Each structure stands twice: as structure tokens, then as C-alpha cells.
Amino acid sequence: MLCGNRKLAMTSSTPGKTQVVNHFLINRSWYLVDLPGYGYAKMSKTGRQKLAKIIRNYINLSPDLATLFVLIDSRHDIGKIDMDFLMELGENRIPFSIIFTKGDKSGTNVRNEQIEKDKNQILQYWEELPPVFVSSSVTGMGRDEILGYIESVLNQINNEQN
């Protein structure tokens, strides 16, 4: 959705499709990287551990990581597995923001109420909220905001380096 290219990141109807780290070079300048998900309960324990290791290795061994987007379904509460992951990012000082996905799947009021609930859950453990976005791959909701945010993060990094 971000790149306007359906063929870029592979998707599937059930989670667990993405099993490797996929790098997409954008504008010959920066990488958009698609990681596997961490939260799929129906996968075997060894399967989940394998994905967790891929995610952990990538995040902790990528000094050039500009920022990480944590994708959470906008229809759901924040689960323990999500909260544990956010805590781990905090402990490792990984800059992150949250994208509430599939924003097209519920009406505005229901969606906003659920997202408020999710934010409050996060605020039980964190003093401040990270940047938060709402997206839809169907309607393009959130696209401009997310691309604008990426631009600002990259500009900041470039300014620090010059």
C-alpha cells in the first residue's frame, strides 16, 4: 500500500506467510523492510520461536534501523504478546511507532473506540504514546501520514550525519 505496488510484499489469507526478512530499496535511497510477524498463536511453538529469532536478530543487529513500525489489527485489544514485544523494544531503545491496520474493516466510531482502548492499554506501561497511525491497504487510509513520517525520520537522520 505504501509503495502503490501490490506485487511487492507477499500476503496470504492466514498469518505466517512472511518467513524471511524482505528488503525493498526505495528511490535508490532507503530500505523498507518487511519482517515476519510475532503474534500468530496457531503456529507451532518451534515455528514461532524461529520467527521470533529472525525478528530479534534483525532488530538488534541493524545499526542503520531508522524506525520500526509495529502493526496491530485495529479491531483487537493489545495482547500480552504485543505488550511484551513493545517492552522489549523499549529495553533495547529501538525507536518505534504503531500502525493500527485494517482500518476499513470497522466503522469510524467502533474503530476509534477500540484504538482509544488500545492506547490506554499502552499508557498503563508507558509514560508517553509512540507515534500512532491508522492504515488500510484497501482504502489507502494512513498512507500520506506514514510516508510523511518516514520522510521526517530520514531527514532527521540525514541532518544529524551532515
Ligand X SMILES: Nc1nc2c(ncn2[C@@H]2O[C@H](COP(=O)(O)OP(=O)(O)OP(=O)(O)O)[C@@H](O)[C@H]2O)c(=O)[nH]1
Binding site for Mg ion (CB under 5 A): 18
Among positions 81-120, residues that touch ligand X (CB under 6 A) are 101-102, 104-105
Between 18 and 62, CB nearer to Mg ion? 18
DSSP per residue, the chain: -TTS-TTSS---SSS----S-EEEEETTTEEEEEPPPS--TTS-HHHHHHHHHHHHHHHHT-TT---EEEEEETTSPPPHHHHHHHHHHHHTT--EEEEEE-GGGS-HHHHHHHHHHHHHHHHTT-SSPPPEEE--TTT-TTHHHHHHHHHHHHHHHHHHH-
Q: Which range binds ligand X by CB under 6 A, 5-13, 54-62, 77-85, 114-122? A: 5-13
- Point out which residues pair with 33 in neighbouring strands: 23
Return the residue nearest ligand X (CB atom).
Answer: 18
Which position among 5, 12, 159, 162 is part of the footprint of ligand X (CB under 6 A)?
12
Q: How far is the CB of 156 from ligand X (least distance, A)?
A: 27
Is residue 36 at the binding interface for ligand X, with CB under 6 A as the rule? yes
Between 18 and 121, CB nearer to ligand X? 18
Which position among 18, 67, 114, 121 is part of the footprint of ligand X (CB under 6 A)?
18
Task: Point out which residues bind ligand X (CB under 6 A).
Answer: 11-13, 15-18, 36-37, 101-102, 104-105, 135-138
